[in-house]
Amino acid sequence: MTDLLPNFFFDPTKCFIGGRWVAPLGGDYLPVENPSDGTEFAKIPRGQKADIDAAVAAARAALEGPWGRTPAAERGRILTRIGQKVLERVDDLARLEAMDVGKPLKQARADALALARYMEFYGGAADKLMGETIPYLDGYTVYTLREPHGVTGHIIPWNYPMQVLGRSVGGALTMGNACVLKPAEEACLTAIAFAKIAEEAGLPPGVLNVVPGLGEEAGAALTSHPGVNHISFTGSVPVGQLIQRAAAQNVVPVTLELGGKSPQLVFADADLDRALPFLVNAGIQNAGQTCSASSRILVDRKIHDEVLARMAERYTALRVGPAVADLDLGPMVSERQRQVVENFLGDIGSAEIAARGSIQSDAPGAGHYLAPTLVSGVTADHRLAQDEIFGPVQVIIPFDSEEEAVAIANGTDFGLVAGLWTADGSRQMRLARKIRSGQVFINNYGAGGGVELPFGGTGKSGYGREKGMEALYGFSVLKTVAAWHG
């Protein structure tokens, strides 16, 4: 696995606070595991409340210093420079991520490129969000200003560390906030690397602070901190609920990007040759550890057996192995996550395993490998069709009418993404409105990542929007100025 050994162009044992690389105040560290072979290859700080206190103070100082007066165009220029430097480091970042979370190299590379795109997109957007003048009473001029919240807290998960960092921190910096980032314990390396890149690109001290550590320690300290003015959280529903409660104490707004159980609806008139790769990829990409994974395939009963057979054929060809082998799937991020998925598969009741991919025979025994699994004979209320599994498992469910398809699609607690496969234009328009989710894709799924496309949930998938221009409303606060001049 040595050919993956990342180039540490930064010090992974340090927090980045106030523009300085500092050891965690408590002197504790966490091991970094390579999920492809179970080895430990680095250590990262186990940040605590004291480190978060220092980071929030540094962010506040930055806001009160030059950053608070930096023109939007200059903020944009800095973000654009960060994006360029990310591009120069794409291969280093990809190797780092592949080693840290087990992503196949091509996926890790796509994530690094997306991080660069977020910086480019938001760099260009920084001076494009405008206020309004509002017609009002005689003798008044009224206008609105978009101002930063102040200090923004960012808690991100391990599944797409670079992408979520990019969309969350990118949007916040664009609007002139100062950020404190607590990456996920299993995936801190690219966040620390990003801080180094941002420093090299000239981001002023204290504007971005990174404190690695555990959720219940550094994470909880950040989300309950009275000096934080906005929280952007991406992760699970239970932790999202905890964060909402913590934020309520300080009455600060929260953006929650939570889980999903996203369906793809396949009608009898669908172009199956086009649909098939999307149907499967949307379930197994990143070993199914994707918030917008399509874990439910709803199929018109008339073509159910054909779709099942064609998906099964693809599943049988899927190969799982170490990140460096760059196959269809890498390992799960951790043994804990692998076990979560095994537990689901150990209790499928009357459902049937229709097909599985295969783990390469030379994959290291200590890696957290799991063969992707297609399950048929599942009813809409089955646990596998209701709960987020967060692994490479898809269920296929037949429907008999458009109404039933919509009812099944909308019949979970979640509502993040949906896919529609049909040639009927009226049905496309009708269902795009009826489906309860934050995004609907018609005759595609995922649309190539979509930095530009607003993203977020309904129901227990959360609220607020990140990505695209829409995110910038969430990362700012509107002020109305009413001037009387007679």
Residues engaged in binding ligand NAP (CB under 6 A):
155-160, 164, 182, 184-185, 214-216, 219-220, 223, 234-236, 239, 242-243, 257-260, 291, 388, 390, 416, 457, 462
User: Phi-psi region for residue 251, left (φ > 0), alpha (ψ -120 to 50) or beta?
Assistant: left
Q: Which two tokens stand for residue 72?
A: 């939007």
How far CA 91 is from CA of 9, 22, 88, 327, 448, in Å, comes to 12, 26, 8, 17, 20
Which CB atom, from 148 or from 183, has the smaller least distance to Mg ion?
183
**Interatomic CA distance for residues 181 and 53, integer angstroms:** 12
The nearest distance, CB 186 to Mg ion, in angstroms, is 5
239 interacts with, out of Mg ion, ligand NAP, none, CB within 5 to 8 A per kind: ligand NAP
291, 306, 352, 402: the catalytic one is: 291
Which residue is nearest to ligand NAP, using beta carbons? 215
233 contacts 155 by C-beta, under 8 angstroms: yes
Pairing of the two strands 230-234 and 254-257: parallel
Which CB atom, from 330 or from 392, has the smaller least distance to Mg ion?
330
Q: What is the DSSP string of 119-143?
A: HHHHHHHTT-----EE--STTEEEE
| Positions in the binding site for Mg ion (CB under 5 A) | 33, 100, 186
**Interatomic CA distance for residues 289 and 184, integer angstroms:** 14
- Identity at 372, one-letter amino acid code: P
DSSP-based three-state secondary structure for 181: strand
Which residue is nearest to Mg ion, using beta carbons? 100
391 contacts 289 by C-beta, under 8 angstroms: yes
Which CB atom, from 186 or from 328, has the smaller least distance to Mg ion?
186
Which CB atom, from 402 or from 470, has the smaller least distance to ligand NAP?
470
Pairing of the two strands 476-484 and 140-148: antiparallel
Pairing of the two strands 439-442 and 417-421: parallel
The nearest distance, CB 376 to Mg ion, in angstroms, is 34
33 interacts with, out of ligand NAP, Mg ion, none, CB within 5 to 8 A per kind: Mg ion
Which CB atom, from 260 or from 283, has the smaller least distance to ligand NAP?
260
**Interatomic CA distance for residues 309 and 20, integer angstroms:** 57
Which CB atom, from 190 or from 439, has the smaller least distance to Mg ion?
190
328 interacts with, out of Mg ion, ligand NAP, none, CB within 5 to 8 A per kind: none
- Is 291 a residue of the active site? yes
DSSP-based three-state secondary structure for 263: strand
Of the candidates 299, 304, 333, 309, which has an alpha carbon nearest to the alpha carbon of residue 419? Answer: 299
The nearest distance, CB 4 to Mg ion, in angstroms, is 12
Residues in the chain: 486
User: Phi-psi region for residue 27, left (φ > 0), alpha (ψ -120 to 50) or beta?
Assistant: left
10 interacts with, out of ligand NAP, Mg ion, none, CB within 5 to 8 A per kind: none
Residues 6+ apart with CB under 8 A from 188: 12, 32, 44, 100, 161, 212
Which CB atom, from 102 or from 372, has the smaller least distance to Mg ion?
102
The nearest distance, CB 202 to ligand NAP, in angstroms, is 28
**Interatomic CA distance for residues 391 and 373, integer angstroms:** 9
The nearest distance, CB 100 to ligand NAP, in angstroms, is 13
The radius of gyration computed from the CA coordinates of the chain, to the nearest angstrom, equals 23
224 interacts with, out of Mg ion, ligand NAP, none, CB within 5 to 8 A per kind: none
Which CB atom, from 75 or from 460, has the smaller least distance to ligand NAP?
460
**Interatomic CA distance for residues 27 and 14, integer angstroms:** 10
37 interacts with, out of ligand NAP, Mg ion, none, CB within 5 to 8 A per kind: none
258 interacts with, out of ligand NAP, Mg ion, none, CB within 5 to 8 A per kind: ligand NAP
The nearest distance, CB 473 to ligand NAP, in angstroms, is 17
185, 257, 388, 466: the catalytic one is: 257
Q: Which two tokens stand for residue 82?
A: 């960060």
- Is 15 a residue of the active site? no
The nearest distance, CB 100 to Mg ion, in angstroms, is 4
The nearest distance, CB 212 to Mg ion, in angstroms, is 12
242 interacts with, out of ligand NAP, Mg ion, none, CB within 5 to 8 A per kind: ligand NAP
Active site amino acids: 257, 291
